[in-house]
Amino acid sequence: MTDTRFVSADDIRSAFSAAMSAMYRDEVPAYGTLMTLVARVNQQKLSADPRLKARLEATDSLDRISEERHGAIRLGTPQELAMMRRAFAVMGMYPVGYYDLSTAGVPVHSTAFRPVGDASLKRNPFRVFTSLLRLDLIADAALREQAAEVLASRRIFTDEAVRLIEKAESEGGLGEADAKQFVAEVLETFRWHDRAIVDAGMYKRLHDAHRLIADVVSFKGPHINHLTPRTLDIDKVQALMPEHGIAPKAVVEGPPTRECPILLRQTSFKALEEPVSFIGDGGEWRKGSHTARFGEIEQRGVALTPKGRALYDALLNQTRAKVRPAADGSNADAYEAALAEVFRALPDDWNELRKAGLGYFSYSLTEKGRAVAGRRVDLETAIAEGLVQFDPIVYEDFLPVSAAGIFQSNLGDEATQEFVASPNQIMFERDLGASVLDEFAHYSEIERASIEACFAVIGQALA
């Protein structure tokens, strides 16, 4: 039930993502340049491909096609993570998936807060990839303790933000004035602060332990570190970035270019070195710099089943065993060629993907199907006879290897470091104060419900 006294969570999320986008474009002008480029390439693609345009018109809000799909933050403590979960819940964003990045040399584990229902995703799909620093992976005990101390002393939410989160929880929502204020207050948490809360010496020690640790610990809050609009042609934008004065990362992460896109492809421009000041010995400000903020683009394809995903992971490993993409882009062509070659093993045809049980699809009745209501037929026959059609279910989540690639290229390419792989979803969920939704179970349920809806009309499945 929607309560008319309250602004819907979807509307609050939309207002929040719009406010964040405006703030970030203002803070990071290169991001504005990227947005303009993405919008232009999207327009060109739509004019050149009327079939794509028609399909998107039917399924998406075309006018919002170039808007942000996600952003990312890195938090320092369990308390920050738990409060962030509550703040996102007010915007209809729930934790989906657990990503262990330690295997890839980044001392964090993460989830994505996102809308889950179809209607909410269509209204505004904005999500935030949220990482929690793992101090337990820092070898130097003294540094670990100092970092924990700094983190314990900061408050990343304003008092008003906390008050409004509590109000939304106890009353079941926020009215218009409160919702507006909530957006403004929570936005403060994501703002950039160019004055560090540590001195230059401490910053250097944190930075030497891992650049990401310095990024999380040294500032007043978890500045949004990137936003990511959706592109309809990621290869084109990647190729055009240099012409617009922005330096792309070496390679596009994820699967290769395909007729039938799978999962998620993403690339970013490299993080910018920005002026910051550190606390000096005599309390004065000392000038320095920090590199953290960048812009990214994404293009999504079909969600894969566990079987499809296992194949994807195996093929990606195989590719990277052949050619490991160098940070300077020197072997980008060789990597792309190897990726395309190895991924031939994954069928590039919707029906083959479906029949092999590799991807998730949403089924619906055709007109012909509705006309034969009551007839008993099994799914494959119904498809073969044109009674039922299927569409790929879009992957709305993230990929750990890709995420690590995005992290690495923006932490400085020399920052690769080995950690002992130690996924700890139990610890993460305890810190979060909730369990994360299993993305496979979620897609599988969408698929199952779509099949049931068909059989409610054309009789029970025989199979």
- Asked if 346 and 316 touch (Cβ cutoff 8 Å), the reply is no
Question: Of 178 and 397, which CB lies nearer to Ni ion in the complex structure?
Answer: 397
Among 168, 403, 454, 458, which residue interacts with ligand OOG (rule: CB under 6 A)? 403
Is 129 near ligand OOG (CB under 6 A)? yes
Block residue for tokens 């026959």: 381
Is 134 near ligand OOG (CB under 6 A)? no
What gap in Å lies between CA 351 and CA 344, rounded to an integer? Answer: 16
Among 182, 360, 398, 443, which residue interacts with ligand OOG (rule: CB under 6 A)? 398
Question: Of 303 and 365, which CB lies nearer to ligand OOG in the complex structure?
Answer: 303
What gap in Å lies between CA 230 and CA 250, rounded to an integer? Answer: 19
- Asked if 236 and 243 touch (Cβ cutoff 8 Å), the reply is no
Question: Of 69 and 123, which CB lies nearer to ligand OOG in the complex structure?
Answer: 69
Question: Of 178 and 296, which CB lies nearer to ligand OOG in the complex structure?
Answer: 296
Q: Which two tokens stand for residue 89?
A: 């819940």
Residues that bind Ni ion (CB under 5 A): 72, 228, 296
Among Ni ion, ligand OOG, none, the one that 403 touches (CB under a kind-dependent 5 to 8 A) is ligand OOG
Among Ni ion, ligand OOG, none, the one that 294 touches (CB under a kind-dependent 5 to 8 A) is none
Is 267 near ligand OOG (CB under 6 A)? no
Among ligand OOG, Ni ion, none, the one that 25 touches (CB under a kind-dependent 5 to 8 A) is none
Question: Of 296 and 431, which CB lies nearer to Ni ion in the complex structure?
Answer: 296
Is 407 near ligand OOG (CB under 6 A)? yes
Among Ni ion, ligand OOG, none, the one that 402 touches (CB under a kind-dependent 5 to 8 A) is ligand OOG
216-235 mask for ligand OOG (x: CB under 6 A)?
---------x----------
Is 113 near ligand OOG (CB under 6 A)? no
Among ligand OOG, Ni ion, none, the one that 174 touches (CB under a kind-dependent 5 to 8 A) is none
Of 241-249, 319-327, 400-408, 447-455, the segment contacting ligand OOG by CB under 6 A is: 400-408
Helices (H) and strands (E) counted in the chain, each on its own, are 19, 10
Task: State the number of CA atoms in the 13 A half-sphere of 53 facing the CB.
Answer: 10
Q: Which two tokens stand for residue 157?
A: 């939410």
Q: Nearest distance from residue 383's CB to ligand OOG, in Å?
A: 34
Residue 248 backbone dihedrals phi, psi, to 5 degrees: -75, 160
Is 210 near ligand OOG (CB under 6 A)? no
Q: Which two tokens stand for residue 393?
A: 């279910």
What gap in Å lies between CA 271 and CA 413, rounded to an integer? Answer: 11
What gap in Å lies between CA 125 and CA 115, rounded to an integer? Answer: 6
Question: Of 7 and 406, which CB lies nearer to ligand OOG in the complex structure?
Answer: 406
Is 408 near ligand OOG (CB under 6 A)? no
Of 22-30, 153-161, 272-280, 404-412, the segment contacting ligand OOG by CB under 6 A is: 404-412
Residue 109 makes CB contacts below 8 A (sequence gap 6+) with 98, 99, 100, 101, 102, 131, 132, 134, 423, 424, 425, 428
Rg over CA atoms, the chain:
23
What gap in Å lies between CA 453 and CA 450, rounded to an integer? Answer: 5
Is 72 near ligand OOG (CB under 6 A)? yes
Question: Of 12 and 72, which CB lies nearer to ligand OOG in the complex structure?
Answer: 72
Question: Of 72 and 387, which CB lies nearer to ligand OOG in the complex structure?
Answer: 72
- CA separation, residue 207 to residues 132, 177, 199, 224, 289 (Å): 17, 42, 12, 19, 12
Q: Nearest distance from residue 436's CB to Ni ion, in Å?
A: 18
Is 271 near ligand OOG (CB under 6 A)? no
Question: Of 72 and 338, which CB lies nearer to Ni ion in the complex structure?
Answer: 72
Is 406 near ligand OOG (CB under 6 A)? yes
- Touching ligand OOG, residues 276-315 (CB under 6 A): 296
Question: Of 31 and 129, which CB lies nearer to ligand OOG in the complex structure?
Answer: 129
Computed from CA positions of residues 139, 140, 143, 145, in that sequence, does the dihedral angle turn out positive or negative? positive
Q: Nearest distance from residue 293's CB to Ni ion, in Å?
A: 12
Of 71, 95, 91, 162, the closest CA to residue 429 belongs to 95
- Asked if 135 and 152 touch (Cβ cutoff 8 Å), the reply is no
Of 370-378, 403-411, 426-434, 444-452, the segment contacting ligand OOG by CB under 6 A is: 403-411
Provide DSSP, 55-77. HHHHHS-GGGTTSEEEEEEEE-S
Beta bridge partners of 95: 113
Question: Of 173 and 255, which CB lies nearer to ligand OOG in the complex structure?
Answer: 255
Of 427, 415, 354, 43, the closest CA to residue 206 belongs to 415
Q: Nearest distance from residue 296's CB to ligand OOG, in Å?
A: 6
- Show the beta-strand stretches assigned E in 91-225: 94-100, 108-114, 127-133, 195-199
What gap in Å lies between CA 388 and CA 354, rounded to an integer? Answer: 14
Q: What are the residues binding ligand OOG (CB under 6 A)?
A: 72, 74, 129, 131, 225, 266, 296, 398, 402-403, 406-407, 410
